[in-house]
Amino acid sequence: MAETLSYQYEKTDVHYKKVGAGPPLLILHGWGSSGRVMMPVAEQLSDIRMCYVLDLPGFGDTAEPPSAWNIDDYTDMIEEFIQSEFGEPVDLLVHSFGGRITLKLCARPAGKELVNKVLITGGAGMKPKRSLSFYIKKYTAIILKAPFVILPHAQKEKALAKLRDTKLWQSLGSSDYSKLSGVMRETFVKSVTEYLEPCLPEIPHEVLLLWGNDDQATPLYQGERMEKGIENAAMVTIENAGHYAFLDRPKHFASIARAFLKG
C-alpha cells in the first residue's frame, strides 16, 4: 500500500506517495494532471523500484505556488527534493509537463550528478508546428492588446486583467489556458512559451523516449526531435496509444519500462 507523505519547499507542502522497494524512481505527471494518474504505472513497477509519485505545486493535493512559476522554478524544487530526500542518484519516469522539468534538470550541472536513467513519455518542451488558425488567434490577441500599450503601467495591467477575463480573449487561448486563472494561468503561459531545444545537447543521460503512436498533444515528431538532440536517447513507439500511453496500453508500457530500468 502506498504511503502518503509531504515535503516542505518554500512554505509549500509538496504532497507525494511512496510505494515499492528497491532503488528510487521519481515519477512526475503532466500539466492538468496529478500523481494520482501516475499511480498505476508506479504500482506496476513497485517490485523493482521504490516509486516516489509527486503532486507538483498547483496540481493534485499540492497548493499553488505563491507566485507564477516558470520551468526553472519547478526544476529548482525537484532538484532540492532529490538532494534532500535521497542519498543517491535517482531514475526518472516523467510525462508531458514533467518532461519539461526533466530536460531542464538533466541539462544542469547538478542534474548530471542527481539523475541516472530517464524515461520520458509524451514529453513536452519542443517547439510545435503551428496551423494557420494559431497565427490568426495570435495576431488577434496582439491587436486586442495594442490600445493598452500607451497607458501607464498600473492602468495597463488593470485593463489587461479585465481583457483576459473576457470570453473573446479566452477563446483565443488553448483549452488548458481557458480553464485556468490567476497564478496558474500565468504559470502556464511562462511554461508553454519556453522551448527547450537548447537543453538537448547538454543532456548526457541514457534516455528512453516512450511514445504513443497516436499522441496528438505531443506528436511523434517532437519525440523524434528529442531523440536527435540527446546523444544517448532512443525512441520506442507504442501502437494504439495516445498521449497517456501508460494508461492506454498499461501492460505493454510497463514491460518496456521494466526492461529499461533493469537493463
Q: What CATH number is associated with residue 89?
A: 3.40.50.1820
pLDDT at 164: 65
- The predicted model scores a pTM of 0.84
Residues 199 and 257 in one domain: yes
pLDDT surpassing 60 at residue 51? yes
Residues 173 and 91 in one domain: no
Residues 61 and 101 in one domain: yes
Instruction: Please report which confidence band the pLDDT of residue 190 belongs to, taking 50, 70 and 90 as the band edges.
Output: very high
Structural domains in the chain (count): 2
Tell me the average pLDDT of the chain.
89
pLDDT at 219: 96
Q: Report the candidate in 104, 139, 141, 102 with the shortest Cα–Cα distance to residue 122.
A: 102
Residues 11 and 37 in one domain: yes
Tell me how far apart the alpha carbons of residues 91 and 27 are, in angstroms, rounded to a whole number: 9
Residues 108 and 205 in one domain: yes
- Grid cell in block for residue 164: 483576459
% of the chain at pLDDT higher than 70 = 84
* H or E element at residue 4: strand 3-9
pLDDT surpassing 50 at residue 132? no
191, 223, 238: which is the final residue of a domain?
191
Per the structure, the complete domain to which residue 149 belongs is given by: 132-191
pLDDT surpassing 70 at residue 169? no
Residues 120 and 235 in one domain: yes
User: What integer is the mean pLDDT of 181-194?
Assistant: 88
191, 208, 230: which is the final residue of a domain?
191
Instruction: Please report which confidence band the pLDDT of residue 136 belongs to, taking 50, 70 and 90 as the band edges.
Output: very low
Task: Please state the φ and ψ torsions of residue 204, each to the nearest 5 degrees.
Answer: -95, -5
Residues 213 and 89 in one domain: yes
